[in-house]
A and B are shown apart, each in its own frame.
Chain A
Amino acid sequence: MHPFLDRRNFLGSASNALGSIALTSLLSRDRLLASGPSERFDPTEPIDPAKPYAPRKPHFEAKAKNVLVVFCAGAVSQLETWDYKPKLIEWDDRPLPGGPSVTFQGPAGNLARPQYTFRPRGESGKWVSDLIPHLAELTDQIAFVHSLTSKSNTHGPAENFLSTGFNLDGFPSLGAWVTYALGSLCDNLPAYVAIPDPRGVPQNGSNNWGPGFLPASFQGTTFSANDPVRHLKSKGVSDASDAATRRLLDKMQQRHLQEYPGDAQLAARIASYELAGRMQASVPQITDIDQEPAYVLKAYGADDTTNKDKAAFAKNCILARRLIESGVRFVQLFNGAYASAGKLNWDGHNDLKNQYDVHASILDQPVAALIKDLESRGLLKDTLVVWCTEFGRMPFFQKGAKGRDHNPDGFTCWMTGAGVRQGVSHGLTDELGVKAIEDIHPLYDFNATILHLLGLDHERLSVEHNGIRRRLTNVEGNVIESILS
C-alpha cells in the first residue's frame, strides 16, 4: 500500500485575519508597490495579488483616468505633418551648410521642401499639412510638442526608448507602468490592451507593450478587431467537457485552499480563473464591431471598400473607443507595421511622398473620427489621447533618394483630451527642422507628462530591480507644464 497522504492535516479554522496577514506579507515580499510602508513614498493602497487590476489611487488628483496612445511606428516626418518649415521651400534642393555627410542610413543629399501644402487651421491658425486633413481639423484641440528628442536614431532602441524609457530591451512599457500603478476600471477586460496595425506588428514588436521586470499581470494583452484574444476558447473539446473541467477544477481549488488557509497566491489563482471566465464572455462582444450603427462605421471609414487597410484600421479605432468606454485603463493603438522599406509604416527613406499618401489615408480619418467620437460621448474629459512616433526625419533627402533619414534631435508628438491645454504649440525646432532649439524635451519629459496627467509622479512610480530603483523616466524627466490645462 502507498502511504496515504493525510488530507485532513490542515488548520481547521481559517480565520479571515490570517488571510489578510498573508496578503500584506506577500505584497511587501514582492515589493509590488513603489510605496511600501518601509519606503519613503506616499503610501497608496497595496496591490491585492488576487485582484491585480483593482483600481488604485494615484499619487495626487488625476486629470485623466484612461489613456489612448496612437503609436505611429516607423518615425513620422514632422516636416510633412505638424512642424511647418517655410524656410525649407526657399532652401529646397540646396545642401545643408555644415550638415553631416552621413546620417543613419548613409550619405545625405540636399534639403527638400515639405512634400505637402500647409495651411493655417482653426482659430489658432496653426499651419498643418494637407497630408492629414481630418486630423488637421482638430488642431485647436491639440497640444503639440515640437521639440522632442530621442536617445537613439535606430527604430528598435528608439521604440524601446519611447515605450519604456530605455534604449535596451527588457524594461517595462508605459502601459505596464500605468496599469501597475492604477489597476483597471473594469472587471471583465484586461487592464491594458495593445491593438496592432492590421498590416502587421510594429518594428519593436511586443517590447512596446511588455511588462519588463514588472509582474506579468501588467503586460499588454494584444488583440484587434480582426485577431481575437489567443486561447479565449478551447478547440476540440465539447462544451459539456469544458464545463465539467471547470466544475472539477473549482472543487479541487477549494479543497486545496482549505489546507492552506489565507494563502493569497492560491486565492489569486482562483480569482484569475474567474476573471478569465468573464473575459471569455465580454471579449467576443467588444470585438464585434459590425454591431456598430452604419453612421459610426462610416464616420470612421470602417465601411471604406476601396481602402481595405483603412477600413481594418478604422475597426481597430472603433474597438479602441469601445475599450475606453468599458473602462480599460490603457489602450495602445498601432498605426504602421514592421520595417518594410517604408511600404507598411512611416519609415520614408526612399519614396516618402508616395508612401505617405498611402499611410495617411489609413491613419487620418479613423483617428480623427475616434477623437471626435470620444468627445461626443463625453469620454474625452477623462481620457488622455496621445499621438506619438519614435523620432522624426531629416530636412534633407538621402542621397539619390526621395525620402528622409532618421532624425532623433527634434520631432513632434502631441496630446489632447483630459487635462491637456487646447490649441498650444510648445517647443521649437530651428528654421530648417534640423534639431530642437527651444524648450528641448527628451521623450522622458513627454512620458513624465503622461504620468502626471494620470496623477502619478514619475519620480515616485518606481520599483527595485537588480539594485536600482527603476522608473519609466530613468533618472530624468520634467513634466511639460505648458501643455497642461
Chain B
Amino acid sequence: MRRIALYYRSFLDSAGRIGSASNPHVLRGCAKIGIPVLLWVVLSVVSTAQLPSEPRIDFVRDIQPIFEVHCFACHGPEKQKSGFRLDVKSRALQGGDHYGPTVDPNDPNASPLLDWVKNQNPQERMPPPGPANKPLSRSQIETLEAWFAAGAPWPDGVDKTTLIDPKSHWSFQPLASPNPLASIDTWIESKLLAQGMSLSPPALPMQWLRRVSLDLHGLPPSPELAAWFAHHHEEPEAYSRVVEQMLASPRYAERWAQHWLDVVRYADTHGFEVNTERPHAWHYRDYVIRALQNDTPFDQFIREQIAGDQLGQDTATGFLITASVLLPGQIGADEPSKRLARQDAIDEIVVNLSQSFLGLSIGCARCHDHKFDPISQEDYYAMQAFVAGVDYEDRLVDTPWAIENKERGERISDELRAIDRELLRLEPLARPNPQRFQIGTDLQSLQDLPVVLPKRPRLQPTINSERIAPTETRAVRFSILQTNRLEPCIDEFEIFNPLGENVALSSRGTQVTSSGDSVAPDRHELRLVNDGSYGNSRSWMSNQVGKGTLTFEFTDPVIVERLVWGRDRLGEFQDRLAIQYTIQLLGPDGQWTLVADDSDRNSDALDPAPQGSDSASNAAPNSPSTNPSSEDFAAFQTLQTRQKQLQNDRKTWQENQKAFAGRFRTPDAIHLLLRGDPEQPQQKVEPRIPGFFGQLGIDPSESEPKRRMAIADWIASPSNPLTPRVIANRIWQGHFGIGLVDTPNDFGIHGQPPSHPELLDWLAAELIANNWSLKSLHRAIVLSKTYRQSSQSNVKGLEIDADCRLLWRYPLRRLEAEAIRDSILAVSGQLNTAMFGRGYDLFAQRGGLSGFQPIEQFQGQGLRRMIYAHKVRREREAVFGAFDCPDAGQSTGLRRTSTTPIQALNLLNSVFTIEQSKAFAERLHREAGSRDQTGSRGQTGSRGESQADPTQLIKAAYQHSLCRDPTPDEIADALPIVQELGVETLCRALFNCNEFLFLP
C-alpha cells in the first residue's frame, strides 16, 4: 500500500489524504508546531502559583487513575498497542514503538503522550473515539500537563504490575550442573511423590515392545522380533538389546527425521500459488536421515545445516531455505515487490534458525521490538545480516556422489565431442540445384528434384558443414545471396582435404579475397576469416547488406572433401547468418562448378539450438544417404541414437550435481526497516547476536561463509543455554507426545515453563556430556521406568493430573499420519524399505486447473515410507494428510491431534486401505500356506489362497497388527465374518481400530 502511495504522492496530494495517522512523523511534526505556545501559558501559571507548597500533582492520586481508566485498555497489562504501555514505569517512560521517549528531559513540555491526547483531530486523538472511551476532560489534560511540567515524577514501587526482568527468565540461565546420582526417574518420581502419587506399574512386555517400536521406528515390531522378545523378555538384557537393535536400524533415522522435518517445514515444492517443484530438495531430507542414522553429534548437525558447505556436508545447508519462496517470475516487476519478496525470504531463514534451534520467536521483532523477549528490532535485523548472502537456489555441490556424477558428465562430454566429429564426417552429400534460379523448369525436372530425398540439416549460426564428393581444385568461392538480417558475417571458413586438414588456413599460404569488407579493427577483418580462431571478435563482415563473396586460392591444387563455416562458432550471435549461398570450385578448365548451396537444406524456421541437439523433425534429414542400406546411413543412425542417449545422460548427470542447498554470495546490506517495511529503511545493521546474549566480536566485513560459521558456532556452543534444552525437550516430546516444555518452539518469556526444570537440565547436560549423541538420549529415555510404565489410567491420576504432565502413566496417543501409512504397509507386507533419492509422487498432476489430483493406487516406489514421498507444500496427502499432517507452511513444533469424520472416511474407504487390506489377507493366507506345507494342514484353494483355518488367520492377523492374540470373544466376533466374507474384512477393521492407531 505504502509503496505505491509514494509514486502517486505528487499527483494525488490535492485529492488524496496522504500522511494521515499512518505516518507518525507528519503527525508529530504538526503537533510540535501548534502546542508549545499554549502549553507555556498554562505551565507558567502552574509553576509560579504552585511550586512553593507541596507538589500539587500526586502520581498515584492524580495521574495513575487517568491512565488506568482511559489508557490501560490498549496500553496496559494485556495490550500494548504500538508497543506502548502505561502501567509500568520503565516501559511507560521509554515510549512507544516510533514516537520516542515519553518524557524529554530537555523539554518537559514536549511529550508524545500530550500530543496524542490533545490532538485536534477527533479521529486521531487519544483515547480513540468509541462507546467506552471519551476524550480526556480539559482538567485531566491540565493535570497531565502539570505533571509533565514538573518532570513527570513517577515514584518507584507504585505500579500495580511488575515486569519480570527478562534476564531472569529460566531458559536464559546456564544449565544447572548435573547431579551424577540422578536419573530420569528420580525427577519424575520425586514430583509424583510430592503429589502423593507414584509411577504406574510396568506395561506388559509386549505392550512396551509395540510402544518402543512405534515410537523409535514408526512401525510395529516385526513378527520375528516380537517372537524373540516374547521368549526372552525376562532376560536382564532383553530390553536394552531391543533398543540397541532399533537404534541401529535405518528405520529409526527415517522415523525421527520426520520430527525434524516438521520443525523446519521441509517440502519438495516452493509453495505459494504456483507451488513448483524443487527437484533437488530431497538431498536435504536424505542428509537429515543420514545424520540421524550416523548419530551425528547434534552440535555438529547444527553447524552442518548452517554452514555445511564449509564442513564437507554440502547438502545440509538445504536447512537454510526450506521455507516457501516466491520464484523470480512470480514476484512483481516493480522494485518494491522485489524488495518485499527478498525480505520475506531472508526473514524465513532467521525464523528457521531461531525457532528450530533456540526456541525463540526472534521473527516477532521484524516490525517492532519483541513484546516479551529481550530482542530488539535491531537485534532481528542483525540476525538477518548473518544470512543475507543466502539465495533460494540450487547449488552444484561437491558431495562424493555429485563429484562422481560430474566425472561421468565429463566422460560423456568427451564421447559426445568424438561423435560430433564423426557425424560431421558422415554428413549427407550436398546436392546443389543448378536450376534453382532459372525460370521455366519443366515438369519432368520438377519430378526429378529430390523432393522425397531427405534434406540436409537446417542452417545454424554456429556451424554448418558441406560435404562434397572429393574434388581437386585451385580455388573455392563462397557467395552469400541472402542473410537473416544485416551484412553477412563469417566467423571462420574451413576447407578440409580427405586427411582432415584445414587447407583454408592463411598459415598454409591460402589467399583470401572478398567482395568488400566492413572493418572493425582486430574484430571484423578479412584476415580473420581463415586465421584458425573462432568467435565473433575474430570474423569477417561484408560491406553489403545480405550479400558478400569470399574466394580462397590455394598455393597448389588440393582435394576438397568438406567445407565448414559458421557465423559465430561460440554461439553468442544468431544474426548476420547466410541463409542463401552457393559454393563453387574452380575447375582445371577455369570454370566455376557449383558443388553446394542451401537449396537442399531443411528450411524450417531457424533453430538456434546448436547442431546435435536435434529435434525429432530433423533427425531423419540428417541421414547421410537416401539409401537406408548404405553403410553411412547405418553408421549415422547408430551414432545419432548414441548421441541422443548421451545428451540425455549428460543432462541427468549435470542436474544430479545440484542440490537445493542455497547459493551463497556477497550478503545484501541489511538495514533496520521501520515497521518491517522495506520501503522505509533506517540505519545499516551489521551481523551480531541479540545484544542480550552478549557479543561474538564478528567483523562487519567478514566474508559470507564466515558469517554463517559464526552464528552456527554460537548456536551450537554448549554454553548456549537454549540450544541443548530445546533439543532435549524435542526428543522428550517425541517419546511422550508432549514435551517437558509444551511450547517446543517457544522457550521465551511467553512460552510455558517446564514441568520438570531439573529433568530438562539433566537431559540437556547428559546430551552434552555424551558428545551431543541423540541416540544416547533415546536410550536413557526408553529404558527408564517412566517410559516403561503402563498407559492404564487410574482415578487418582485423572483427578490430580488429568493432563498427565507429571507422567503417572505413559500417555496414550494416536500415531501420526506417516506412522499410520507406514504401519499399514508393514503389516500388509507391502512396505518397500528402499531408502533415499527423489520422492515418489502422491499426486498424478501438479497444480493447474484441477489442482493436485491424488494418486490412489501405489506400487513399487509408492510403497516406500511416507518420508520418501515427494512432499507438496500445502497439499495434504489425500488419505493420511487429514491426520494432522503438517502442510509445511509454518513450522510445526508439535502436531495437534484432531479427530474428524474425513479421517474416518479416508481410512475406511480409500483405495489404499482396501488394497492393503487385501494384501494383508493374502499375506495371511500365504503364511498360513507355508506353515501348512510343514504342518500339512489345510489345502490350497483354486485362487491360490490356502484354505487356511479361519481361527488361525484371525490369530495371525491380530499378531501382525496388534502384537497379541485375540481373546476368545474377539475370535467369536470375527469368525463368522471371516468364514463368510474373507479375512480382508477383518483386516480392514483392524486398520481402523483404535488399538492399531494408538501408541499403547
Contacts and interface: CB of A to CB of B under 8 A. Distances in A.
B738 A29 contact: yes
Contact of A99 (B11, B888, B990): B11
Contacts of A468: 361, 364, 746, 750
A149 B344 CA distance: 19
A262 interface: yes
Contacts of B995: 252, 256
A221 B11 CA distance: 47
A169 B4 contact: no
A157 B794 CA distance: 50
A252 B974 CA distance: 10
Nearest to B890: A170
B93 interface: no
B914 A97 contact: no
A170 B974 contact: no
Interface in A337-383: 337-340, 344
B136 interface: no
A201 interface: yes
Nearest to B273: A156
Contact of B333 (A103, A204, A236, A256): A103
Interface in B180-204: 204
B49 interface: no
Interface in A227-264: 229-238, 240-241, 244-249, 251-253, 255-257, 259-263
A437 B16 contact: yes
B756 interface: no
Interface string A22-48: 101110111000000000100000000
Contact of B900 (A151, A153, A238, A272): A272
A10 B275 contact: no
- Residue picked from B330, B799, B902, most chain A C-beta under 10 Å: B902
Contact of A149 (B1, B10, B964, B994): B1
Nearest to B744: A466
A154 B324 CA distance: 14
Contact of A216 (B874, B900, B990): B900
B901 A190 contact: yes
Contacts of A440: 20
A434 B8 CA distance: 8
Contact of A236 (B745, B795, B914, B970): B914
Nearest to A10: B792
Interface in B358-376: 359-361, 364
B310 to A, nearest CB: 29
B993 interface: yes
Nearest to A6: B204
Interface string A171-193: 10000000000000000001000
Contacts, number: 369
B884 A155 contact: no
A465 B361 CA distance: 10
B849 A22 contact: no
A269 interface: yes
User: Looking at chain B, what size class is its interface with the partner chain?
Assistant: 35 or more
Contacts of A466: 355, 361, 743, 745-746, 890-891, 893
A296 interface: no
B849 A337 contact: yes
Contacts of A104: 332-334, 337
Interface in B880-907: 882-884, 887-893, 896-906
A159 B1 contact: no
B914 A235 contact: yes
B227 A2 contact: yes
A263 B994 CA distance: 11
Given A169-B890, A248-B989, A21 B799 contact: yes
Contacts of A233: 909
A385 B332 CA distance: 32
A400 interface: no
Interface string A384-408: 0000000000000000000000111
Contacts of B879: 231
Interface in B70-125: 78
A169 B985 CA distance: 41
Given A169-B889, A213-B890, A245 B989 contact: yes
A442 B320 CA distance: 32
Nearest to B910: A231
B383 to A, nearest CB: 16
Contacts of B532: none
A261 B793 contact: yes
Contacts of A293: none
Contacts of B897: 30, 215, 265
B453 interface: no
A137 interface: no
A204 B980 CA distance: 49
B469 interface: no
Interface in A60-79: none
B8 A216 contact: no
Contacts of B15: 430-431, 437
A105 B904 contact: no
A106 B332 CA distance: 8
Contact of A200 (B750, B848, B985, B993): B848
B981 A238 contact: yes
Given A337-B849, A339-B273, A249 B803 contact: no
A98 B326 contact: no
Interface string B9-45: 1111001110010000000000000000000000000
Interface in B944-976: 959, 964-965, 967, 969-970, 973-974
Contacts of B992: 245, 249, 273
A327 interface: no
A273 B988 contact: no
A338 to B, nearest CB: 5
B199 to A, nearest CB: 16
A251 to B, nearest CB: 5
Interface in A67-111: 96-100, 102-106
B750 to A, nearest CB: 6
Interface string B847-861: 111111010000000
Given A169-B271, A205-B874, A215-B898, A467 B207 contact: no
B238 to A, nearest CB: 12
A98 B891 contact: no
Contacts of B233: 3
Interface in A272-308: 272-273, 275-276, 279-280
B609 interface: no
A154 B330 contact: yes
- Residue picked from B17, B791, B896, B995, most chain A C-beta under 10 Å: B896
Nearest to B361: A467
B896 A437 contact: no
A155 to B, nearest CB: 5
A467 B876 CA distance: 25
Contacts of A231: 879, 902, 905-906, 908-910
A316 interface: no
> Nearest 4 pairs between A and B by C-beta?
A170-B889, A467-B746, A25-B802, A156-B273
30 contacts: A2-B965, A5-B965, A26-B803, A28-B803, A98-B8, A98-B10, A99-B7, A152-B340, A159-B273, A168-B344, A201-B850, A212-B887, A229-B905, A234-B908, A252-B994, A256-B995, A257-B994, A265-B998, A268-B899, A269-B994, A270-B994, A273-B904, A279-B905, A338-B847, A409-B1, A435-B5, A435-B8, A435-B16, A442-B1, A466-B890
Given A3-B204, A102-B334, A434-B4, 6 more contacts: A4-B964, A104-B333, A104-B334, A168-B889, A248-B974, A265-B899
Interface of A: 2-7, 9-11, 15, 18, 21-22, 24-26, 28-30, 40, 49-50, 52, 96-100, 102-106, 149-157, 159-160, 167-171, 190, 196, 199-201, 203-207, 210, 212-219, 221, 229-238, 240-241, 244-249, 251-253, 255-257, 259-263, 265-266, 268-273, 275-276, 279-280, 337-340, 344, 406-409, 430-431, 434-435, 437-438, 440, 442, 464-468
